C-alpha cells in the first residue's frame, strides 16, 4: 500500500483537486490518503471529509511547515511506500502506480521523483544536481558548457540544461512528488524526515541524507504530473522567498562540506550570482511588468 501524504494550508480548492485526481487516476496500487491540515484559517478542514469521507484527516493545532506536517502524516501512515504530494499538484494518469513499479524494480533507489510541468505544459526543472563550485561556475559562464556534447552537458548539469526526457539517477528531486520506501525512512535519524527547515530546501537535504545511506535518487521521465507552484505575481514576495531558499542552500552546503575554505568560496560565488539574478528579475518586472521564473 502507498500512503499519500498531502499538506493543506489555506489551499482548500487546490487540495480538493489534488485529492480528486489521486482517487480518479490511481488504479494499479492500493492507497491511503492522509491529509494534514496545518492550522488553516481559510475553511474548516472538516469540509474535506464531507467531500472525501475515506481520507484520514489530521488537524494540527499549529502550522508545522512542510517538514513538520509531513512527519505528522508519516507517523500515521500504514503503507510500505510513502508519497509526499504537494497540494498544488494534480495527476494526469496513474503516476503513482508507475512510480511504485519503478521503485520496486531497483532496490538501490531510495527516493523517486517524476516529471513535472506547469498547467500550461511548460517543463519544470525537477531533476537536479547538488550545487558545487564547479556547477556554479558552469552556470555562470554557460558558453563553456557548449564545449561538451549535449548529452554530457545535460547529464552533468541537469535542471534547466536537461530536457527531462530520460529516466536516470540524479542528486535530488523536487519534493512536490517525493516517493520512498518506509524501510528507507527507518534508517534516518529519529525515523523521520529532517525538520530543520520550516519550508524550502527540505527535499535537497532529505536526498543528501538518503544518498549517504547508500541509496540512489531516481528521476522517472515516463510519467508526468502538473505542479501549479507559486502563482504569485508579487515581486516582493517572490524575492523574499528566494532569499529564504538561498539561506537554506548555504546551510545545506555547510552541513555537506563543513565551514571551511570550500564553503566560503562557494558562498561568495553563489550569493554574488543569485543576487545579480534577483536584481535582473526586479529590473525586468519594473520595466515590463513580467515576473520571470
What are the DSSP calls for 15-54, one per residue? HHHHHHHHHHH--SS-EEEEEEEES-SSS-THHHHHH-TT
Task: Pick left, alpha or beta for residue 235 (phi over 0 → left; psi -120 to 50 → alpha; otherwise beta).
Answer: alpha
Pairwise CA distance, residues 31 & 2, whole Å: 5
User: Could you tell me the domains of the chain?
Assistant: 2-126+164-227 (3.90.550.10), 235-288 (no CATH)
- The reported pTM is 0.92
Read off the DSSP letter of residue 250.
H
Place of cell 500512503: 3
Phi, psi of 98 (to 5 degrees): -65, -40
Pairwise CA distance, residues 207 & 197, whole Å: 14
Per-residue pLDDT of the chain (293 residues; tens, 9 = 90+): 999 999 999 999 999 999 999 999 999 999 999 999 999 999 999 999 999 999 999 999 999 999 999 999 999 999 999 999 999 999 999 999 999 999 999 999 999 999 999 999 999 999 999 999 999 999 988 888 888 888 888 999 999 999 999 999 999 999 999 999 999 988 988 788 888 888 788 999 999 999 999 999 999 999 999 999 864 445 567 677 788 889 999 999 999 899 999 999 999 999 999 888 888 877 777 787 666 66
Interacting residues of 157 by C-beta distance below 8 A, sequence separation 6+: 129, 135, 138, 139, 145
Amino acid at each position: 500500500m502507498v500512503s499519500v501524504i498531502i499538506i493543506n494550508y489555506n489551499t482548500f480548492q487546490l487540495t480538493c483537486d489534488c485529492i480528486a485526481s489521486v482517487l480518479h487516476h490511481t488504479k494499479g496500487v492500493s492507497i491511503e490518503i492522509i491529509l494534514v491540515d496545518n492550522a488553516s484559517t481559510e475553511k474548516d478542514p472538516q469540509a474535506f471529509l464531507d467531500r472525501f469521507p475515506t481520507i484520514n484527516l489530521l488537524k494540527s493545532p499549529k502550522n508545522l511547515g512542510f517538514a513538520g506536517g509531513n512527519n505528522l502524516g508519516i507517523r500515521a501512515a500504514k503503507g510500505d511506500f510513502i508519497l509526499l504530494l504537494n497540494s498544488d499538484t494534480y495527476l494526469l494518469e496513474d503516476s503513482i502506480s508507475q512510480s511504485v513499479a519503478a521503485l520496486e524494480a531497483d532496490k538501490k533507489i531510495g527516493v523517486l521523483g517524476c516529471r513535472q510541468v506547469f498547467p500550461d505544459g511548460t517543463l519544470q526543472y525537477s531533476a537536479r544536481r547538488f550545487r558545487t563550485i564547479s556547477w556554479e561556475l558552469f552556470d555562470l559562464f554557460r558558453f563553456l558548457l557548449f564545449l561538451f556534447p549535449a548529452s554530457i552537458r545535460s547529464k552533468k548539469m541537469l535542471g534547466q540544461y536537461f530536457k527531462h526526457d530520460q529516466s536516470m539517477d540524479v542528486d535530488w528531486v523536487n519534493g512536490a512528488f517525493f516517493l520512498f520506501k518506509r524501510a528507507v525512512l527507518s534508517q534516518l535519524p529519529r525515523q523521520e524526515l529532517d525538520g530543520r527547515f520550516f519550508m524550502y530546501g527540505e527535499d535537497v537535504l532529505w536526498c543528501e541524507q538518503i544518498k549517504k545511506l547508500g541509496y540512489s535518487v531516481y528521476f522517472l521521465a515516463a510519467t508526468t504530473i502538473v505542479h501549479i507552484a507559486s502563482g504569485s505575481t508579487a515581486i516582493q514576495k517572490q524575492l523574499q522567498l528566494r532569499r529564504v531558499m538561498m539561506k537554506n542552500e548555504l546551510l545545506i552546503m555547510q552541513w555537506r562540506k563543513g565551514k571551511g575554505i570550500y564553503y566560503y568560496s562557494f558562498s561568495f560565488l553563489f550569493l554574488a550570482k543569485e543576487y545579480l539574478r534577483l536584481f535582473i528579475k526586479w529590473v525586468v518586472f519594473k520595466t515590463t511588468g513580467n515576473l520571470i521564473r
